[in-house]
Amino acid sequence: MHGDETVGREILLHLIDFLVTNYGHDPVITRLLNNTRVHIMPTMNPDGFEATKVPDCYYSLGRYNRNGEDLNRNFPDAFEYNNVTIQPETRAVMDWIKNETFVLSANLHGGALVASYAFDNGNAATGSWEGYSRALDDDVFVHLAKTYSYNHASMYKGAGCDNRQPFPEGITNGYSWYQLEGGMQDYNYIWGQCLEITLELSCCKYPPEAQLEKFWRDNRVALVEYMKQVHLGIKGQVMDSRGRPIPNAIVEAKGRAHVCPYRTNDHGEYFLLLLPGTYVINATVPGFKSKLKTVEILDNTANFSALKYDFYFSEVSVTPRAASCPTSPLYGEQERTSAAGRAALHSVLATTILLAVMFK
């Protein structure tokens, strides 16, 4: 996302090469690709990369796009109105997220060594008063972040970089590290129905070329193990009396109703990432009685398939209209009263962050 953070871009090129050359030879990679749709975008900010003329471990102008905008502050925000002009790069990614059924993702950065998870922003509704902005799927997010850190060569040690903040087990809640608005991670989770974590892959944002091979080796296992986690939980289709898929049906686990409800895609498909355990899954077609199903979910990631369960609405013969959540703050109510105070705080934070800790 940030053009001056170059390690992620390089290891994704390695990853593409690794996947296509091992397909048909390595049994794990073959099964992974036979059961998973994988999309890889090596860079979201090519202009920033080109603008980074002098390699620099720390902050540089290449963080921003051609228009001087930080793409990881450029998305709609669930907690407050994000007063920015959405950039072409951001718009393209938002369209991509909307038009594919993404389930799991990661966005790659540099300048620290940690796996950071939602939320990056927060308010009283998500527990920000205790310095941790908790998503309903917090247990899944912690598992995803640990899957990456413990399969990485050293991230799990959580040593931090130089004398900077250590991260126990190599993970952190995004808000606990530092609050930001307009990040891709929160956007993807709220509006994209996709659990995303932010990976900080190198203390030095733009290391010497000779170190790239080691960065790839340090991350290779973690990247593959992370991709397998897309098969956590439960998936299936919602269908009508004639076995036709019902799009826009709401399917959620009881007690985990997302602020923007997760809906089936055009194929009537739903995907819910859930850790092993017992859950009640609630399928709702607007205007009809909900269907509940209690399921026992095991860890199926080694089988490359989530538990499969289909819902049938034999009484339904109409297609629910598409419904989309507004791209305005969905958690916004508690925030409005303190807007003036926040503006002052932001300017102080911005100065500090630009100098020292701007990574994600």
| Interacting residue ranges for Zn ion, rule: CB under 5 A | 2, 5, 109
| Residues in CB range of 50: below 8 A, 6 or more apart | 3
- In the numeric block, the tokens 């990661």 are attached to 106
Tokens at residue 225, please?
């193990």
Nearer of residues 9 and 109 to Zn ion, judged by Cβ: 109
| Residues in CB range of 171: below 8 A, 6 or more apart | 114, 115, 116, 117, 142, 145, 146, 149, 158
Nearer of residues 2 and 258 to Zn ion, judged by Cβ: 2
For residue 200, the surrounding DSSP H or E stretch is: strand 195-202
Cβ atoms within 10 Å of 80's Cβ, excluding its own? 19
State in angstroms the smallest separation of the CB of 63 from Zn ion.
7
- In the numeric block, the tokens 């997010």 are attached to 141
State in angstroms the smallest separation of the CB of 66 from Zn ion.
17
DSSP string, 320-339: PPP----SS-SSGGGGGGGH
| Residues in CB range of 31: below 8 A, 6 or more apart | 304
3-state secondary structure of 172: strand
In angstroms, the CA 236 to CA 306 distance is 9
Nearer of residues 2 and 9 to Zn ion, judged by Cβ: 2
Nearer of residues 6 and 264 to Zn ion, judged by Cβ: 6
Q: Where in the sequence numbering do the catalytic residues fall?
A: 200
State in angstroms the smallest separation of the CB of 73 from Zn ion.
10
HSE-up of residue 219 (Cα within 13 Å, Cβ side): 27
Q: What angle do CA 135, 139, 335 make, to 5 degrees?
A: 15
Work out the angle between the directed axes of helices 212-228 and 7-22 (0-180°, nearest 10): 60
**DSSP state letter for 198:** E
3-state secondary structure of 306: coil
How many separate helices (H) and strands (E) can be counted in the chain?
Answer: 9, 11
Sign of the C-alpha dihedral computed for residues 152, 9, 184 and 322 taken in this order: negative
Q: Which residue is nearest to Zn ion (CB)?
A: 109
